[in-house]
Amino acid sequence: MIEKVPKSTQSLPHKLIDQFGRQVDYIRLSITDRCDFRCVYCMSEDMTFLSRDEVLSLEECARLVKVFVGLGVSKVRITGGEPLVRKNALWLFEEIGKLKNLNELVLTTNGSQLEKQAQDLKNAGVKRINISLDSLEATRFKTITRTGELDKVLRGIQAAKLAGFKNIKLNTVLMRGFNDDEVLPLVDFAIKQAIDISFIEEMPLGDVNHTRESTFVSNADTLKLLQSKYPLISSTETTGGPARYWRVADAKGKFNTKIGFISPHSHNFCESCNRVRITCKGELYLCLGQEDKIELMPLLRAHPNDDQPLITAILNSMAVKPKGHDFDLRRAEPSIIRFMSHTGG
């Protein structure tokens, strides 16, 4: 727990507006770079992780979220690495869940810890869960994750449903030659489980030996395939992020399961960007696909009882938030030599 409460933030401005007039009301906070999986598109097989003193404490994470909520942020997503492998992570969810002006506390996870923690997360105030699932074949799942067990994740999904989560969504990264033949089985699974699914185009981040062009699967092609089997209707729904959704009609003609598409290549969604990312090192990234960042950890530790330097830095960061990312699959090297596990999923 934080022993001393920083100076009041009641007089803060209510909105974060960047230089292009976009309001930032959504933050994605990574609380660890560690994970019990080693997914091929997220990190290398032999990772070197940060030491404890290089990572924000849970108290510092809670303080950051409180400041951002005071600046008008209404949605907070906790990510990693795998956030649920962080010791005492539940305390952070409970602290954030108490904030009055926060509309949504959501979680992105690989699902490996949900069997044990789903009910506690629901009790803490988590509203929605996104679960990464790239294959329904155990051997292939192990190949993609390098260490993951499919059955454990499937049990985690069931635990989340039993805990009462109504908004569960699968996140799938399709990769040509890995799992691009599982589009229909994954959607069928989502429909049968009465949960949603989003397909995310692989982003050119991370390993310099993997350019992504050879494995890239366009969401436009995925949508065309799905339209050949399912009655789909375009939806204007939004969860505050970059996904564009379609609804699947069930046997009775009711549109239930949502299929989302996050398409940083085939559809640039930067014009409506409303989010920033904070790494577990306290780096405030203004764009996933750019290197613009503000170091918040030094301010947190130099001013433990005064939030004003932190607030000033966050407000100033809006002036350097870029117009958009610059992903290009044709480059010989990835756009950003930074693993997704570093920035947060």
Annotate 241-270 with DSSP letters as a single string.
SS-EEEEEE-TTS-EEEEEEEE-TTTS--G
Can you list the positions of beta strands (E) in 187-262? 196-200, 232-235, 244-249, 255-262
Confidence at residue 281, expressed as pLDDT on a 0 to 100 scale: 96
pLDDT-derived band of residue 151, with 50, 70 and 90 as boundaries? Answer: very high
Both tokens assigned to 84:
């649920």
- Cα dihedral across residues 179, 181, 187, 192: positive or negative: negative
Confidence at residue 99, expressed as pLDDT on a 0 to 100 scale: 97
Given a contact cutoff of 8 angstroms between Cβ atoms, the answer to whether 62 and 96 are in contact is yes
pLDDT tens-digit series, residues 96-147 = 999 999 999 999 999 999 999 999 999 999 999 999 999 999 999 999 999 9
The angle formed by the CA atoms of residues 29, 179 and 106, to the nearest 5 degrees, is 20
Confidence at residue 332, expressed as pLDDT on a 0 to 100 scale: 44
pLDDT-derived band of residue 317, with 50, 70 and 90 as boundaries? Answer: very high
Given a contact cutoff of 8 angstroms between Cβ atoms, the answer to whether 312 and 9 are in contact is no
SS3 32: coil
Q: What is the enclosing helix (H) or strand (E) of 172?
A: strand 168-173
What is the rounded distance in angstroms from the CA atom of residue 74 to the CA atom of residue 25?
A: 6
Which pTM does this prediction carry?
A: 0.87
Among residues 65, 109, 53, 129, the alpha carbon closest in space to that of 91 is found at 65
What is the second-level CATH architecture of the domain 26-343?
A: Alpha-Beta Barrel (3.20)
Which amino acid appears at position 101 of this protein?
N
The pLDDT mean for the chain works out to: 87
Q: What is the enclosing helix (H) or strand (E) of 340?
A: helix 340-343
Confidence at residue 239, expressed as pLDDT on a 0 to 100 scale: 75
Q: Which residues contact 160 (CB under 8 A, 6 or more apart)?
A: 114, 118, 129, 131, 168
pLDDT tens-digit series, residues 183-241 = 999 999 999 999 999 999 986 654 544 455 788 899 999 999 999 999 999 998 887 77
DSSP assigned state of 54: G
Given a contact cutoff of 8 angstroms between Cβ atoms, the answer to whether 161 and 224 are in contact is no
Which amino acid appears at position 137 of this protein?
E
pLDDT at residue 329 greater than cutoff 50: no
Ramachandran angles phi, psi of 338, nearest 5°: -150, 120
Q: pLDDT higher for 149 or 291?
A: 149
The angle formed by the CA atoms of residues 153, 127 and 37, to the nearest 5 degrees, is 25
Confidence at residue 47, expressed as pLDDT on a 0 to 100 scale: 82
Q: Strand 26-30's sheet: what is its strand order?
A: 232-235, 244-249, 255-262, 196-200, 168-173, 128-132, 104-109, 75-79, 26-30, 275-278, 283-285, 293-295
What is the rounded distance in angstroms from the CA atom of residue 50 to the CA atom of residue 342?
A: 10
Strands 293-295 and 128-132: unpaired
SS3 127: coil
pLDDT at residue 37 greater than cutoff 50: yes
Among residues 162, 27, 200, 204, the alpha carbon closest in space to that of 104 is found at 27
- Helix crossing, 114-124 with 150-162: angle to 10°? 30
